[in-house]
Amino acid sequence: MAKAIAIFNQKGGVGKTTTNINLGACLARIGKKVLVVDIDPQGNTTSGIGIRKRTLKNTIYDVLINENFNVKEAILSTKTDNLDIIPASVDLAGAEVELVSIEGREKRLKKAIDSIRDEYDYIFIDCPPSLGILTINSLTAVDSVLIPIQCEFYALEGVSQLVSTIDLVKKSMNPDLYIEGVVLSMFDGRTNLSLQVVQEVKNYFGNAVYNTVIPRNVRLAEAPSYGMPIITYDPTAAGAKAYVAFTKEFLARADQRKGEK
């Protein structure tokens, strides 16, 4: 039974898509069966993993809008073994409006995800940088939320709203929802600012913050333009080593949480 995790922060450019692709790819590399879901109308996970959006027949849009649509028809294999994707296209931009009049609109994605949980170890959902119906669908469908936060000046701006949104969904639609953890991205150890942000985030979230931080790395930024995870594009890059380390910590914490239960 797959664990489903939403990768969410309402701020853009914080590393959601980068984490979705590279955490998924690292887990797939060690034999985990992984599905990444792109529910961002920009479709960056889709293109960043090597899928051409113009050639897509079925996408997450069909899953959300057509109640009788079989979600398996939207799942594509990627060039990484054990890593599948439900892609997104520009059509998704209109889904927010179309979903308004649909009964049970907040649980469309949950219904689809629940039907395929038995086929994966992990399902990751790349949420859009907004608090609309697509994000609500994502938070309703998952077990937990992974929050990427960039090591920059405005890092904590909006974090209280982010946590409030998670709490709201927990109270109204998904009572078992919890924060999986917080991963710090775009870290530059040469600057006092990055170090200060790390401390501020740890003060706010406490033990939920992973010890591994993802560095600002040119090769990591280049990889999506070639449609590859960083461990394929350049396994020796600092970004690749960081995501491998983060994946190990992610699994260790998940095992620890299971033990505590």
Q: What is the pLDDT of residues 72-91, one digit of tens each?
A: 999 999 999 999 999 998 88
Span 122-146, average pLDDT: 93
| DSSP at 251 | H
DSSP 127-161: --SS-SHHHHHHHHH-SEEEEEEESSTTTTTTHHH
Average pLDDT, the chain: 92
> Which percentage of the chain shows pLDDT scores above 70?
100
pLDDT the model gives residue 260: 74
pLDDT at 99: 84
Reported as a pLDDT band with limits 50, 70 and 90, residue 179 is: very high
Give pTM, 2 decimals.
0.94
Stretch 184-204: mean pLDDT, rounded? 87
Task: Please determine, for residue 261, whether its predicted confidence score (pLDDT) is greater than 70.
Answer: no
Which of 209, 183, 213 minimizes the C-alpha distance to 16? 183
Which pLDDT tens digit goes with each residue over 19-73?
999 999 999 999 999 999 999 999 999 999 999 988 899 999 999 998 889 999 9
Question: What was the pLDDT predicted at 50?
Answer: 94
Which residues are CB-contacts of 151 (< 8 A; sequence separation ≥ 6)? Answer: 184, 185, 186, 187, 188, 193, 194, 197, 198, 213
Q: Which CATH number fits the domain that encloses residue 93?
A: 3.40.50.300
Task: Give the total number of structural domains in the chain.
Answer: 1
- Confidence grade of residue 258 (pLDDT, cut at 50, 70, 90): confident
101 has pLDDT over 80? no
User: 198-248, pLDDT tens digit by residue?
Assistant: 898 999 999 999 999 999 999 999 999 999 999 999 999 999 999 999 999
Q: What is the mean pLDDT of residues 101-118?
A: 90
State the DSSP code for 100: T
Provide the residue range defining the domain that includes 185: 3-260
Long-range Cβ pairs for the range 232-240 (8 Å, 24+): 232/25, 232/79, 232/80, 239/22, 239/214, 239/215
Q: What is the pLDDT of residue 182?
A: 96
